[in-house]
Amino acid sequence: MTLYSTQAFAFTGKPYEDANCVMALLMDADENPLTDSSGEGNTGALKGANEPDYATASNPGAWSTGYYDWDGTDDLVTVTDDDTLDLDGKLLSFSFWVYNDLATSAIDQGFFDKADVNGDEGWDRYSIYLEWNRIRIRINGNAEDDTHYGEEMSWNDGWHHVYVEINIGGTLFLYVDGSTQTLDDTTENNATFANLSDNLLIGKSTTTNEFTNGKMDEMAMFNRALTSTEINDIKDNGLAGAAAPAARRIIMVN
């Protein structure tokens, strides 16, 4: 006889299990390419003369044992173009950790950047990066250039967890360390593009060719909005230790 329970439980030490997770680079091992634990096959290839360096630490967060360090010169990670990573009229959310090495981020410190060089005026893209110590969310498409800034703060004083939600034609959200940050404008003004054909870049800005100088960890993308409870669960326990979403909380007991 098989019984079913809706009891919540954590996937400690296992890949994050969420049907709406389209990429999960846990970065807990020295490897190339980086494993995608979402099951979508969106692995990350390390690029650059020296490539981003893998490092271990006893407690970069409350959950992680390793991370990667970008040198600010030519290090980056590329994820091969895939429809699951495109922002073509749908919602995408992003979760990641960052520890910047610069006291002031005068250059664009890229986290997620995906473009189409053959798009409208050659600049269709979405990007999330650090500029002058503020998270900047930028969506270009159909001659629209929508830019949204978070609050200015220090990013070189330790690890910070960031969650960004982009909803074309809807509202944008930004969480830093589990709390909402005020954006200067929360409305996405209907930037449209059919497809972004270039690879996803992590650690580099498409348009400025500027590279990130700092550490990043647990880069993840979802095709749905996360709740504040889920955001804080990931912040406190990491992707591998976060509880499964309600739809996946089914335990089979024989």
Mean pLDDT is highest, among 75-89, 108-122, 191-205, 238-252, for 75-89
Is 104 or 16 the better-scoring residue by pLDDT? 104
pLDDT at site 248? 40
Percent of the chain with pLDDT over 90: 44
| Model confidence pLDDT, tens digit, residues 144-166 | 677 889 999 999 988 999 999 99
Spatial distance between the Cα atoms of 170 and 190, rounded to a whole number of angstroms: 8
Confidence at residue 132, expressed as pLDDT on a 0 to 100 scale: 87
Distance CA 85, CA 83 (A): 5
- Predicted confidence at residue 111, as pLDDT, reads 93
Q: What is the DSSP-derived secondary structure letter of residue 235?
A: H
Residue 250 is predicted with a pLDDT of 32
Q: Specify the CATH class of 3-253 in words.
A: mainly beta
Give residue-wise pLDDT tens across range 127-150.
Answer: 999 988 999 998 877 666 778 899
Q: What is the domain partition of the chain in residue ranges?
A: 3-253
97 pLDDT higher than 50 = yes
Q: Does the pLDDT value for residue 11 go beyond 50?
A: no
**Does residue 8 register a pLDDT over 50?**
no
DSSP labels, 177-216: TTEE---S--B------S---SPEEESB-TTT--B-EEEE
pLDDT for residue 122 is more than 70: no
Most confident residue range from 57-71, 175-189, 217-231: 217-231
Match 């326990």 to its residue by tokens.
237
Mean pLDDT of the chain: 80
Least confident of 114-128, 132-146, 196-210, 239-253: 239-253
Residue 7 has pLDDT above 60, yes or no: no
